[in-house]
Structure 1
């Protein structure tokens, strides 16, 4: 089975010390290849403290039906109890040679909407970008208008 390598870092791009994530890779549906049945049981990997991980997955490009892995990231506390989970809408397709996580997406995410939260206008604009004129660090700020701006396709 091919290896997929990647890196998960926290929002600031830092390390994961004191955090306990698990990344779950799950086939989109039961599948088969070369006489082998492949169930949807998740394959779980725990990243190193620097965020790096390697997971051994089945190649999806030679399965009988259209296949990809969905990804979820579960955040646990120090005792291993569930805290929350992230469910990005990514379709990870794995060739027989494996590869880098960031290079294996068969399709871009379907949710392309971005919300920029700031008192000043975003430095860029584009379709599906929204700007919430607000100061996220001070919700008592009278300059927080609550006005949501959205750019159109044109």
Structure 2
């Protein structure tokens, strides 16, 4: 199991505590991993007063068929009337290490993947990373793909 952390605020960085927010992690389908059988039951988290939350989820790597989590956010008007529902337009693939929700990959992990990036791969990434430029060098302007292919596991 992996601990995924988040802080829920509005775009003004204000907490939504007064609106009774709930963050919901819903698996995309039922799945199996080893002897475990997983249903699509949503996992609901209520953030603390500062908007911080942690959810323990099964890492998606190795679940058959391929599964990801859809993240949605609900909050209420004062008095408990429903007011708002958002869906994060992002397939959340949870890594074995867990961590901040923004560090989770938006694509399934695969040993044959190749990531081309100036930044290190996200936590839990498994595959090949075309590191450009080589350490200590500036990127050539005429060929941004010059670099070093590294296996990340």
Q: Which has the larger radius of gyration?
A: 1
Distance 1:10 1:30, change over 3 A: same
TM-score by length of 2: 0.64
- Indicate conservation of the 8 Å contact 2:17/2:51, yes or no: no
| CA deviation profile, 1:32-80 (whole Å, cap 9, x unmatched) | 1012111111000011121111001111012122111001101123444
- Gap runs ≥5 in structure 1: 108-154
The CA RMSD over aligned residues, in Å, is 1.5
- Indicate conservation of the 8 Å contact 1:15/1:50, yes or no: yes
Q: Does 1:103 align with 2:103?
A: yes
CA distance in 1: counterparts of 2:17 and 2:106, whole angstroms: 31
Question: 1:116-127, aligned counterparts within 5 Å?
Answer: none
CA distance in 2: counterparts of 1:17 and 1:37, whole angstroms: 35
Q: CA deviation at 1:15?
A: 2.2
Distance 1:17 1:27, change over 3 A: closer
TM-score by length of 1: 0.64
Residue number in structure 2 paired with 1:70:
70
Q: CA deviation at 1:20?
A: 1.2
- Indicate conservation of the 8 Å contact 1:24/1:42, yes or no: yes
Residue number in structure 2 paired with 1:27:
27
Q: Does 1:89 align with 2:73?
A: no
After the TM superposition, list the runs of 4 or more consecutive aligned residues in structure 1 that deviate by more than 3 angstroms.
Answer: 77-81
Q: CA deviation at 1:97?
A: 1.8
CA distance in 2: counterparts of 1:82 and 1:31, whole angstroms: 31
- Indicate conservation of the 8 Å contact 1:90/1:105, yes or no: no
CA distance in 1: counterparts of 2:83 and 2:20, whole angstroms: 10
- Indicate conservation of the 8 Å contact 2:93/2:104, yes or no: yes
Q: CA deviation at 1:11?
A: 2.4
